[in-house]
Amino acid sequence: MLRFETHSPAQTEEVAAVLASTLRAGQVLLLSGGLGAGKTAFVRGLVRGLGGEENEVSSPTFALMNQYEGRLTVRHFDLYRLSGPEEVCDLGFDEFFRAGDGVCAVEWHSVAGADFWRGMDILHVRLSGEGEERAITVEGEHEPVDVGRLVQLGVGVHRTA
């Protein structure tokens, strides 16, 4: 597991941009954190890191999904308003998660239930903190990140077993 400590939204975005450089098609990032935790800022960094237009990134709370083009297509989902895995499938979102042609960043993934995500290439990204201070943990089967670049930017980085 990797743990990052950031001190501004810009640093939160930079963690995501560096992580984006290691992503490959088919990965699904399950984003956890309360309202205002920085999930959309994190996605903004992902989009920038993949060569997309970061200024276009907005929360998909009412749209349910936003899509951004770059080296890999980023599909940003917010499942908060959905009732459960059946509705996720009825809307066809499961096809995007399994397509393997881009990366998906999913807010409020718990709506779909833990079993829904089995068999997918998952990275769990947890954001917490208050004010501009954030703790970001990244955990999954593949966690390669350019830690040196982040340390130069003043981001605290910890690797745990």
Of the CATH numbers 3.40.50.720, 3.30.70.1520, 3.40.50.300, 2.60.40.420, which one belongs to the domain with range 2-159?
3.40.50.300
Domain boundaries, the chain: 2-159
Q: What is the mean pLDDT of residues 36-55?
A: 91
At residue 48, does pLDDT exceed 60? yes
Q: Is the pLDDT of residue 53 over 60?
A: yes
Instruction: Please name the residue that has the structure tokens 């999904």.
Output: 65
Mean pLDDT calculated for residue range 26-35: 93
Secondary element (H or E) of residue 159: strand 156-159
Q: In sequence order, which ranges of 2-110 are alpha helices (DSSP H)?
A: 9-20, 39-49, 85-90, 93-99
Average pLDDT for 66-83:
94
| CB burial string 35-71: b at 16+ within 10 A, e below | eebbbbbbbbbbbbbbebebeebeebeeebbbbbebe
Is the pLDDT at 94 greater than 80? The verdict is yes
Tell me the whole-structure pTM to 2 decimals. Answer: 0.86
